[in-house]
Amino acid sequence: MDLKRHRRTMGIKPNLGVKIRKLEKRVDSMGVLIKELREAFLLEWKAEDEQENDGKYRWPYDTDGNLLPNVNMTGPSSNGKIEEV
């Protein structure tokens, strides 16, 4: 009984943990979508170069169509660590 009174005074909601887990899942799924978008942009840029520039690649690709070594597509993951795409 004493704990219930304490929770009310602190303003803690009983479903907060569930809501946080749902939010984490949404953030994770958005991270996956962002990664897929990055990859799609790179593929689209490469395809445009192949079609419109007679196979000559522009930045961020080298002459062979590989990503330049000084270019990386990085971003924070849901766990806060940097992960390379």
| pLDDT tens-place string over residues 12-65 | 677 888 889 999 999 999 999 999 998 999 899 888 888 888 878 888 888 888
Select the more confidently predicted residue: 5 or 33.
33
- 17 Rama sector, left if φ>0, alpha if ψ -120 to 50, beta otherwise: alpha
CA distance 5 to 45: 60
Q: List the chain domain ranges.
A: 2-84
CA distance 85 to 80: 15
